[in-house]
């Protein structure tokens, strides 16, 4: 009986085979359509990337040209703005020259004040330093003088003590010599 059930399970009717074939064909069509959509989308993405790359290169090339042109135009505008008052007429040129003279005079006064302030600060610092050095020197000199005086007094005292001791020894020796004679 086992052989019959295996045989019955393995055998399909023609209708079942057709249905299975239709299902397989539908699956293949769906898979093919998905692959086609995926390939189309990948191709579009590649095309956009290539287009973006071309646009980036184009933009960089344009920048190389546009930057110097823009800089030159800015310099030209600045030069025209500076020269304009002098070319507008004699009165305009004289006004500009007067303004420039005033500005120069103002700047010179500023510089003079700043230099004066710096000089005064430097002089003050030099005086402070000199005073501090003189005070330190005076203190060291007084300290050295005190040490010398103290050492001299001590040396004189020791000399006196030594002389007294020597005189006492001489007197003792004379007395002993006198007593022996």
Q: Please, which residues have CB within 8 angstroms of residue 95's CB and are 6 or more apart in sequence? A: 85
- Tens digits of residue pLDDT in 23-58: 999 999 999 899 989 988 888 888 787 778 888 888
- Tens digits of residue pLDDT in 99-117: 989 999 999 999 999 999 9
Pick from 24, 46, 26: nearest CA to 34: 26
- Domain layout of the chain by residue ranges: 26-89, 103-166
Taking the C-alpha atoms of residue 70 and residue 30, their distance in angstroms, rounded to an integer, is 57
The total number of residues written for the chain in this structure: 181
- Tens digits of residue pLDDT in 64-102: 888 888 888 889 888 888 777 777 788 888 888 899 899
């Amino acid at each position: 009986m086992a052989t019959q059930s295996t045989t019955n399970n393995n055998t399909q009717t023609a209708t079942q085979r057709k249905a299975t074939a239709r299902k397989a064909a539908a699956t293949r069509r769906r898979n093919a359509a998905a692959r086609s959509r995926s390939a189309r989308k990948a191709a579009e993405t590649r095309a956009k990337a290539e287009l973006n790359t071309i646009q980036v290169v184009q933009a960089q090339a344009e920048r190389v040209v546009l930057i110097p042109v823009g800089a030159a135009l800015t310099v030209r505008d600045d030069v025209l703005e500076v020269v304009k008052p002098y070319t507008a007429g004699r009165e305009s040129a004289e006004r500009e020259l007067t303004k420039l003279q005033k500005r120069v005079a103002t700047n010179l006064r500023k510089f003079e004040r700043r230099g004066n302030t710096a000089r005064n600060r430097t002089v003050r610092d030099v005086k402070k330093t000199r005073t501090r050095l003189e005070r330190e020197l005076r203190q060291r000199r007084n300290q050295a003088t005190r040490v010398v005086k103290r050492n001299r007094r001590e040396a004189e005292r020791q000399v006196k003590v030594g002389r007294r001791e020597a005189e006492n020894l001489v007197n003792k020796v004379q007395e002993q010599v006198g007593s022996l004679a």
